[in-house]
Amino acid sequence: MLITGCGSGTGDDNAKAKPAVEPKPLAAGALRPLLLSQADLGDGYVQEDPSNGEFDDVSVQGCASLENLGQNGDEMMFASQAETSFTYNAGATLGEELHSDRPSVLSSKLRELFGAYTSCPTYSMTAGNTPIEVKVAKSATPRIGDEQFAYTSTMELPSGAQVLKTMAVRKGNVAVLLVGAPALVDRHIQTAVDKLPANS
């Protein structure tokens, strides 16, 4: 259940109330043990190097909010992060990122990121010299954690269409983000969130 922070009492009481102290971000070293492992996922998964550079040289055309996001990428960085990646049965992929920051910062930046990615139903991108047409649709999310965001993107590649689901769940001062085959993201998001600290 999402807590909306509805208060009670008079305006004077609220004026005197001190703002709650937000938990500080976790360090990257504290995030790494919270990442999914092969033991968490089960048979058929092989851990990969998450930084394989597949989409390092990417430019976006036809979506102003994403173009602006790319130009202001440094402003969207979180205080700390950790990541890992898996292949499933030598075909499907599942990538995980953990980000930590103050809860209010995580919330606002995740809203901005997912808002940008779902603002254009279609756009073009170029990865290296490869043109890619992308279609995006918002996706339903399970009611877990404090906030949830998700969208599905279909990329028309020279090798054929590739469908990826991106889902993020914020739990306190940590957010987990899964990207990969939609069935794998749906299957493992609960496990990923369950590994986060209870009082983060």
pLDDT in tens, 140-160: 999 999 999 999 999 998 889
CATH match of 24-194 with 3.20.20.150: no
58 pLDDT higher than 90: no
pTM for the model: 0.84
Percent of the chain with pLDDT strictly greater than 90: 69
pLDDT of res. 167: 98
Question: CA angle, corner 176, sides to 87 and 51, nearest 5?
Answer: 45
DSSP secondary structure string, 120-177?
A: -SEEEEEETTEEEEEEEEE----S-SSEEEEEEEEEEETTEEEEEEEEEEEETTEEEE
Domain positions in the chain are 24-194
CA atoms within 13 A on the CB side of 7: 9
DSSP secondary structure string, 135-147?
A: EEEE----S-SSE
